[in-house]
């Protein structure tokens, strides 16, 4: 309602398109194969980067929580990665990576430090009294890991994975907007901006937001399913 009123007040589709024209634009897009293939292309690459960042972050977190030297080596690098703006990453990476694979690298770098930190701190969050109890009773390493070490870590890592998913998605699309690989959401967003197709730009933005929310809901659903199975 506010949007519609604002659009009417401005009276210029180039500055603020009305919700109706955005909806019309979206309706025109969703019936094309290009729309779905673009989403699939962007999503597959960004999710691949997300998975690589998640697996790498967990592996690195295990490594740094076990060896202080590894922590001393990787912690500053992770802080630097976390502090670097997405745009800087994209421009730097463009020198080495082809446009199509850029979103994979960008989303990996977004996810890696978040998941690393959650794993690193989560592994150190095990209750020392329970660890001592396990030592006294001679409970085996696998059981200690499963029942004492992993539960507190799991909560932290799952929270990080949820946050990282949104980051990866937004950063991945931002990377596509700069690198403009063909047949991706980022390319459509870029073209809409260049050709001043404001309803299309708003429609693609809505698609990005909606997809991000759906992916996060899916992750929450999957993690709850995993909890129930346990």
Interface with other proteins (CB under 8 A), residue from 68, 98, 137, 141 = 137
For the chain, strand residue ranges (E) read none
What six digits make up the tokens of 153?
């870590």
Q: From CA 189, how far away is CA 113, in angstroms rounded?
A: 28
Interface with other proteins (CB under 8 A), residue from 11, 33, 76, 138 = 138
The distance in angstroms from the start CA to the end CA of the chain is 46
What six digits make up the tokens of 168?
């990866």
Is position 62 an interface residue for other proteins (rule: CB under 8 A)? Answer: no
Whose Cβ is closer to other proteins: residue 136's or residue 194's?
Answer: 136
Q: How many residues contact other proteins, by CB under 8 A? A: 13
Interface with other proteins (CB under 8 A), residue from 26, 60, 78, 148 = 148
What six digits make up the tokens of 117?
């930190």
Is position 143 an interface residue for other proteins (rule: CB under 8 A)? Answer: yes
Interface with other proteins (CB under 8 A), residue from 63, 75, 139, 180 = 139
Q: From CA 90, how far away is CA 99, in angstroms rounded?
A: 10
DSSP 10-43: H--TTTS--HHHHHHHHHHHHTSHHHHHHHHHHH
Helix/strand/coil for 182: coil
Is position 158 an interface residue for other proteins (rule: CB under 8 A)? Answer: no
Q: Which of residues 106-135 bind other proteins (CB under 8 A)?
A: 129-130, 132-133, 135
Q: How far is the CB of 75 from other proteins (least distance, A)?
A: 30
The string over 188-220, giving b where at least 16 C-beta atoms fall within 10 Å of a residue's C-beta and e elsewhere, is bbbebeeeebbbbbbbbeebbeebbeebbeebe
Handedness of CA 133, 135, 138, 142 (dihedral sign): positive
Whose Cβ is closer to other proteins: residue 84's or residue 155's?
Answer: 155
Is position 224 an interface residue for other proteins (rule: CB under 8 A)? Answer: no
Q: From CA 94, how far away is CA 89, in angstroms rounded?
A: 8
Q: Which stretch binds other proteins (CB under 8 A): 19-27, 48-56, 139-147, 204-212?
A: 139-147
Q: How far is the CB of 225 from other proteins (least distance, A)?
A: 17
Q: How far is the CB of 114 from other proteins (least distance, A)?
A: 25
Is position 153 an interface residue for other proteins (rule: CB under 8 A)? Answer: no
Q: Which residues bind other proteins (CB under 8 A)?
A: 129-130, 132-133, 135-139, 143, 147-148, 151
């Amino acid at each position: 309602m506010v949007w519609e009123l604002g659009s009417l007040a401005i009276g210029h589709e180039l500055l603020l398109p009305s919700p109706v024209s955005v909806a019309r634009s979206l309706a025109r897009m969703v019936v094309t194969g290009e729309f779905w293939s673009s989403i699939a292309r962007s999503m597959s690459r960004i999710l691949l980067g997300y998975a690589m960042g998640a697996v790498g972050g967990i592996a690195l977190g295990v490594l740094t929580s076990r060896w202080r030297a590894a922590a001393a080596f990787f912690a500053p690098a992770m802080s630097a990665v976390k502090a670097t703006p997405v745009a800087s990453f994209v421009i730097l990476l463009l020198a080495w990576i082809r446009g199509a694979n850029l979103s994979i690298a960008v989303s990996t770098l977004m996810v890696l430090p978040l998941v690393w930190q959650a794993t690193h701190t989560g592994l150190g969050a095990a209750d020392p009294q329970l660890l001592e109890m396990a030592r006294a009773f001679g409970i085996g390493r696998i059981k200690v890991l499963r029942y004492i070490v992993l539960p507190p870590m799991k909560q932290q890592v799952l929270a990080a994975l949820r946050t990282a998913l949104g980051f990866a998605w937004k950063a991945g699309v931002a990377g596509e907007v700069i690198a403009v690989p063909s047949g991706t959401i980022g390319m459509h967003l870029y073209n809409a901006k260049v050709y001043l197709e404001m309803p299309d730009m708003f429609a693609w933005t809505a698609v990005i937001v909606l997809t991000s929310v759906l992916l996060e809901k899916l992750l929450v659903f999957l993690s709850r399913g995993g909890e129930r199975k346990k």
